[in-house]
A and B are shown apart, each in its own frame.
Chain A
Amino acid sequence: MGGSDLNQPMLKPVLIKRLRDFFAPVPALAWLAGILCAVLIEYQWGDALAVALYLPKVPPLFGATLVLKQPLLFPWAMLFVCLVYGVPIVLIGRLTAGPANRAAAALGRMPVWVSVLLHLLLLYIALHIWTETSDYRLQVAKLIMIAVMLTLSLNVINGYMGEFSCSHPGFMALGAYMASVFSLLLFKADRVFGAPVLPEAWGPYFFPLALAAGGMAAALGALVVAIPSFRTRGDYLAIISLAFMFIVKSAIENIDAIGGPRGLGGQPHWSTLPAVFAGMSLCIWIINNFVRSTLGKALNAVRDNETAAEAMTVNTRRTKMVAFLFGAFWAGVAGGFYAHEVRHVTPGGFGIQNLAEVLAMVYFGGLNSVVGSIVGAVSISFLSEILKPLLLYKWIVIPLILILVMIFRPTGLIAFRDFDPRRIVGPRR
């Protein structure tokens, strides 16, 4: 009797430890194999299984969207998820751990980019098969990846450099409009700009250029905010950047040449899954390279103590400027992807609600952390999709969750974590 009382509090940690030990030797490669298997199973037998489990169709987002819409179907959706994803991923992941570890070790002898590219390729294939089943799923996946870029770019400013910038929707709007104008003017016949200048078929090859133009426009906007606001610190940047966001919005509303308040539509559908995936991977790679380099660590020094940073030869003004323009650039690129995915942008779409969303992603996921940003962007986007039936009330739930996170983990879920691709693709044990 007494023994069971003593054992009670021990049970949970032991279980967690056992589970952890069980999964510890599974490398990323084995997990990817499991995920590939799961998506293939769903692709092959998903529909049949859904029918057997009384589901109208394959649940698009792991059944999560059913929680509020059709709660009675939710248990069946959970069962579906367990059978299609849970069991195969766990089984295949654990069973292939041995060979996968050997493969990862063999890849480890080659340059690290070979291994990283292979992992990304496998991930992309899984994503591609997974998004084949529904267009809704496809769009959600793309928007989540765009959100990851946006969150990461804001984390550079708010997390790594520790300033509080509120102008990210503004930068995104600048990028979205600039990229749209680029593609509409040059490659597409539309209401606003008329006939295209260049043959339409060339268009997709110029998409990177359109995105870069969007990024540059956003960086230019950032320069406008940075010059006056970096003479002061803290709250002033927050206020100025917030003002900048509204200025961008009303400026676009008042330029009839780009559609005014009605917005700009009819962009070519260039934000395909591979394009967005490649864009996101590139964004993560470059930002991660930067923040891990000594040049990028200067951002942290500026945040933690600027005087000391100056005394240690760090050019703080340049550092702050670079971080700000760099963050804005990627926000602009994300905006460009966004415009070519939803294919209709309005100035009203880049407002305070957007700001709240991206700030929530950064602070929920964790400051000063690439993984945190990815987790934050994915989970808040997901939550946002689940809570869609609540309409405006979702803006009561998400902030509440954010408040809870701030109480229990003030810097976010996975803050101050180093993201080392070499370790992620490497073998375990």
Chain B
Amino acid sequence: MKSQWYASAGTPLLKTINLFKTVLPILFGMLLLINLLNPLLATHYADWFNGHYLHDTLIGALAGSISFGIPITSYIVGGELVGKGVSLLAVTAFIMAWTTVGVAMLPLEAAFLGKKFALIRNLLNFLFAIILAALTVFTLGLCQ
């Protein structure tokens, strides 16, 4: 009975170990990349916006796409940007792109989900970040 269990669990275990052999180097590489980019980006966010509605929305989505971190960080950075006069449209695009688009994560996503999947999903989500930002601001305008 016991040996049967070992036999049936052996293959999935080997599969998992082999998968981890791929996961770990990419994961360490990604963490190194993210930690190198984050200090460079964090100090420059506010400089990229110029007050032009369309330009700022695009920049917001682009900045969110190349940034990385847990969603809560995007809310805090976004809140600070609103405080500095950046439009809510641009900040919403920034927040949305932050979690749905991951340029730094592309190699990892492509490695596990396929290049086409990663590229199409990220492009689609970039577009959706802008559309969703516009819809949210429009709806809020109706609510007021």
| A is bound by B | no
Interface residues of A (CB under 8 A from B): none
